[in-house]
Amino acid sequence: MLSPILLDKLNNQYSKDVVTKIIQGYQTNRFMSFRINNLKTDEKMVIDTLNKEGFILEKISWYPLAYVILNKTEEDIKKLAIYQDGLIYLQSLSSMLPVIALDPKASDHILDMAAAPGSKTTQIAAMTSNKARITAIEKNKIRFERLKYNLNKQGVTSCTVMQTDAITLDDLFRFDKILLDAPCSGSGTISKMNQNMEMFSEERLKKLTDTQYNLLRKALMILKAGQMMVYSTCSILKEENEDIIEKVSKQFDIELLPISIDGINNMLPTKIPNTICLCPNEYFEGFFIALIKKK
């Protein structure tokens, strides 16, 4: 059952046709997807293994090491040694996009501000062949331990982990690139398999937007001038996305850079040029991404 508060917000933000499309996306069974972990294996070994196990796969055009599973469940793949040994990482396609937009390089010192469980941290390490310096932060003790576990399982050797609140980081820190995949309502993640939006409320949304603003403000304070960061959420609500960026833009001289990823066309309208918001469907969770340059 969709939260009446969420439905009201969707109707206030989007046209009737767009809301219908979003709700149709909520009602789908979303395909499972994964990344091949090039820190520990190669593509041929993984694909050969999955083919022998009867998996039907669809290769993703915009990320060479990403695949969608068309005919099996999460339980099926978790039984396999390639999962248990960290040769693949189960990750939604939407969740892969922020790191692609950030475009990490081996020479970068990169901050992942809300890192657990490690999906994007391990992706950064894989994309830079363990050569970028990564600092990953998580304040929750249980999630912090999960982050460390996943980094070790995936063979990440280039990361320093900190159990702290990123909002309290010293302003003297400086990073070449920052990824802020902010805590959010999860309004883009609803599907047939995940319809639990009982926690959605105005009070919770207010707490989340306060946190999102404070995290983004901190990120822009410690990002080096002339460098880029990504702000993303798994929400499709402007209160958690465009409104947060507009608020910090009054305090910082920033520019929103275009994000170009070929082959993705399920976009929702946004009120800030160059930001993207994905409509939920059978392949993607609803997701917002902005590439921000600090002038």
- What are residue 19's phi and psi, to 5 degrees? -60, -40
The token pair at 4 is 């009446």
Catalytic residues: 234
For residues 193 and 30, the answer to whether their CB atoms sit within 8 Å is yes
Beta carbons within 8 Å of 263's beta carbon, 6+ residues apart: 61, 62
Bond preceding residue 117 cis, omega within 30 of 0: yes
Residue with tokens 């694909």: 47
